[in-house]
A and B are shown apart, each in its own frame.
Chain A
Amino acid sequence: MTDTLLRPGSGMLPGGPGEGMLVEVRGEGELRTQDMNLNIGPQHPATHGVLRVVIDLDGEKIVRATPVIGYMHRGFEKLAEARDYRQIIALVNRHDWLSAFCNELGVALAVERMMELEVPDRAEWIRVLMAEWNRVLNHLMFVGSFGLELGAITPVFFAFREREDIQGLMESATGGRLHFTYTRVGGLKEDLPRGFLAASAKMTRNVRVRNSEYRDLLEGNEIFKARTRKVGILPPDVALDYGVSGPTLHATGIAEDARVTEPYCRYDKVNVHVPVGATGDSYDRFQILLARIDASLDIIDQVLDNIPPGPVNVKLPKIVKAPEGEIYVRTENPLGQGGYYLVSDGKKNPWRLKMRTPSFNNISAMSYLLKDQLLSDMIAILGSVFFVVGDVDR
């Protein structure tokens, strides 16, 4: 045999029964263990939703990981073609249920720009205010769930305590707790209730104080650092290749943010701070999340200083029709960049509404991130590449 490798002393005890025997070691001389195929999901506690990840495991090490999506496809884009523009606003705040207001804002902006509508100043400011509260609401959720996935069960309860307060605040203005449906084409459903701005200012102070509790609980925790530092590093170029956006992109050091690069509403009048990370690992992504909460609270404070009195709506005909044409609108949604490509043939419903959702692109990077990681690290990565399954599938 020509391919036989002779290795004296490989695994042989001196004086043992095999001493002096010729040992044949074929192949590369390594024991091959069988890979195990494991379906994580669609029902699994770590995928918060119905994402399925098919992984091949060698021991606890992931050889290959393939995210399988589509378990929550509800056909929103197709459905939008059969709904008029007012109905669409109630529709789009459902695919990413954690950033409802930001989603409806994107569609309203698209329609308004096509119609060349001038939206009242106060309405635009309130939109900024609400979008930022929604961002805080969203990020709190992920702060809590990330801790939960790493086994720290307390932050999620703290996060929900704050979420409850903020939801109460938004409910007082919009009537909704999750699906706000507060935006209208040409403005808002109605003006803010009396005392909202004062309550809002008080809330920013509260959330700021409590934000430091998360820093104490998680950021300064040695075990948390050990679990997240240098885990799931996403290089900037790979992130851009996959179209990753939002906090996940910012963690890699790229400060691309539609609120700054292509301001909408009144984001050009406020000072938007975009926190960026250095290494793009899970720890950075988490830090960015906390920093973004603070940044959003700063924006809310600026809005409270600047918000003018006035109407919040323009008079529109009973049936809103976008003129013939097409438009692409970018917004910075909490999870990343939202894109709304609207094609209209002049009728009361769109000919085509294509949504670019941040979660879809974020989840695409998963195969890259999960390769050669440990099963435990997979949870740390899944929790820190922020996605909502409804937002992936739409």
Chain B
Amino acid sequence: MTESLLALDNVWLALLLKVAAIVGFFLVAPLVVGYIEHKGLAHMQARLGPMEAAFHGIGQLPADGIKFIQKEDIIPANADKWVFSLAPGVALVPAMVILAVIPLGPGLWAEDLDTGVFFALAVSSVSVIGILMAAWSSASKYSLMGGIRAAAQLIAYELPLVLGAAAVVLQAGTMSLVGIVEAQNDFRILGVVPMWFVLPQALGFLLFFVASLAELSRPPFDMPIADSELIFGHMTEYTGLRYAFFMLAEYAGIVVLSALAVVLFLGGWYPLPGVGLPSFDVLFLPGEVVAALAGFAVTMGKIVALAFVMIWFRATFPRLREDQLQRISWLAFIPLAILNIVVVAVFKVVA
């Protein structure tokens, strides 16, 4: 199966459906992760978390969203108004655009680009420009320092992220994200044991995951927003809906980078290594759709599991210092990532 389910004869209808699907997923998935963060973090910290908004606080995030809309939208007097207003959008849109190339199930993708990995990684770093814009235009020293930290962090962590993904591309022999998922299903250790790339690429997966934490400014790499030092970094001066956009961008970023890790290393929509999805007809649903739905459920399960690990990290680790982070990146992660590529390349040629 190499065609998107949404590839209809009518191009415009297909486009409309794709956009609707992406925006829908983009608005709902971060809420799921946000809810897990609320409750998971709470229970790790011996408290209950939100309990009042609907059943066990399930309506807390929509309620927060409505509250944010009602808040006054303050733009500081000295702020660069245009840049200040645009920044949340610039931070938010890349996460949505990446979703266009991520396959969430068999046939469940908007576009299967031949350069999918390249596209996703290139777009993902655009959101840092949004952070820099916010930091620079806020006319606040705390924001500025947060922005500088964010920029330094991006430079240090983009490389391990890209190099980790490059090793996967090397092994799969394709840059298409759908192709990589299929390649993982066909991969056999020593030609016998079916396995996803997470095992042969264990080092690469580790580097990719840690680098994506740094890219997202999640603990223990949350120096750009470090609430006990810089108040809230680039978000210090934001209120209301614009602030909500930044928060949405953060959680959408978690979803997107987790999804990328799932696609690159954890076998995408396949439930187990070497095991396919059910594709028989159920009642009025054709087999294709059943497989797509089952695949979507599996992918979401894996995304949520990765997001849970990120939340777990937040509950466990203190924050690193900026110079320590740089040292780890340049002296350990980048050499390791290059070593990983070399090893993968050698095995590829030998095998």
Contacts and interface: CB of A to CB of B under 8 A. Distances in A.
Given A38-B141, A158-B46, A376-B223, A223 B318 contact: yes
Contacts of A227: 318-321, 324
B141 A36 contact: yes
B229 A379 contact: yes
B121 to A, nearest CB: 27
A149 interface: yes
Nearest to A382: B228
A157 B45 contact: yes
B71 interface: no
Given A45-B228, A154-B44, A223-B318, 16 more contacts: A46-B229, A60-B145, A60-B322, A149-B228, A150-B319, A151-B219, A151-B228, A151-B317, A151-B318, A151-B319, A153-B314, A153-B315, A161-B46, A224-B318, A376-B223, A376-B229
Contacts of A376: 223, 226, 229, 319, 321-322
A152 B46 contact: no
Nearest to A375: B229
A38 B315 CA distance: 30
A374 B323 CA distance: 10
23 contacts: A44-B231, A46-B228, A46-B229, A149-B228, A150-B228, A151-B220, A151-B222, A151-B318, A153-B45, A154-B315, A157-B47, A158-B46, A217-B316, A221-B318, A223-B317, A223-B320, A226-B324, A227-B318, A376-B223, A376-B321, A378-B229, A379-B228, A379-B229
Contacts of B316: 152, 154, 217, 221
Interface in A227-254: 227
B173 to A, nearest CB: 38
User: At the interface, is chain A mostly helix, strand, loop or mixed?
Assistant: helix
Nearest to B317: A223
B281 interface: no
A186 interface: no
Interface centre among B141, B229, B321 (most CB of A within 10 A): B229
A148 interface: yes
B192 to A, nearest CB: 38
A269 B169 CA distance: 73
B227 interface: yes
Given A151-B220, A151-B222, A154-B44, A226 B231 contact: no
Interface centre among B141, B228, B318 (most CB of A within 10 A): B318
Q: Which 3 A-B pairs have the closest CB atoms?
A: A151-B319, A157-B45, A150-B318
B258 to A, nearest CB: 21
A375 B141 CA distance: 13
A132 interface: no
Contacts of B314: 153
Interface string B79-108: 000000000000000000000000000000
Contact of A158 (B45, B141, B223): B45
User: At the interface, is chain B mostly helix, strand, loop or mixed?
Assistant: loop
Interface string A135-173: 000000000000111111110011001000000000000
A104 interface: no
Interface centre among A45, A151, A223 (most CB of B within 10 A): A151
Contacts of B315: 153-154
A377 interface: yes
Contacts of B219: 151, 153
- How many chain B residues sit at the interface, stated as a range, is 20 to 34
A381 to B, nearest CB: 12
Interface of B: 41, 44-47, 141, 145, 219-220, 222-223, 226-229, 231, 314-324
A45 B323 CA distance: 22
Nearest to A43: B231
B111 to A, nearest CB: 39
Contacts of A46: 228-229
Interface centre among A36, A154, A226, A227 (most CB of B within 10 A): A154
A372 to B, nearest CB: 14
Contacts of B317: 151-152, 221, 223
A374 B316 CA distance: 24
A293 to B, nearest CB: 18
Nearest to A231: B321
A305 to B, nearest CB: 32
A212 to B, nearest CB: 15
A104 B319 CA distance: 38
Contacts of B226: 151, 376
Nearest to B229: A379
Contacts of B223: 376
A154 B229 CA distance: 18
Interface in A364-394: 374-379
Interface in A105-161: 147-154, 157-158, 161
Contacts of B320: 223, 226-227
Contacts of B322: 60, 374, 376
Contacts of A221: 316-318
Interface string A20-59: 0000000000000000101000001110000000000000
Contacts of B41: 153
Contacts of A147: 318
Contacts of A374: 321-323
Contacts of B318: 147, 150-152, 218, 221, 223-224, 227
Contacts of A161: 46
Interface centre among B46, B314, B317 (most CB of A within 10 A): B317
A138 B223 CA distance: 29
A27 to B, nearest CB: 26
Contacts of A157: 45-47
Contacts of B323: 374
A161 B228 CA distance: 22
A147 B319 CA distance: 10
Contacts of A149: 228
Nearest to B144: A36
Nearest to B47: A157
A141 B224 CA distance: 26
Interface centre among A38, A223, A375, A376 (most CB of B within 10 A): A376
Nearest to B316: A154
